[in-house]
Amino acid sequence: MNRREADKMMINVKKRFKMIKCFKCQFFDVTNLFVEDKKYLMFDRDQMLSYVDNTLHLTHSGLKVTEPELKRVAKEVISNEIYYK
């Protein structure tokens, strides 16, 4: 998938996220984990498994790619939980 075209399609979504003013919410972007040569990878070339099911939802293979980042965000949220009580 061409990265420039995909980013253009997502511009309104990113604008809506910037408008949210919730101090308890944390948004994160995992698209950079799927970039190779200015294109978004839609599948694992080695295993021939898709990363997304309909250009929106991650499959099990896609979640494996994002797992380290999701763990990092979860730890950050948990460590900051004391500030929200």
pLDDT in tens, the chain (85 residues): 787 888 888 888 888 888 888 877 777 888 889 988 888 888 888 888 999 887 678 999 999 999 999 999 888 888 876 555 5
CB–CB of 65/51 below 8 Å? Answer: yes
**Domain housing 35:** 3-84
Q: Find the angle CA(79)-CA(81)-CA(84) to the nearest 5 degrees.
A: 145
How many folded domains does the chain comprise?
1
Look at the pTM and tell me if it is higher than 0.95.
no
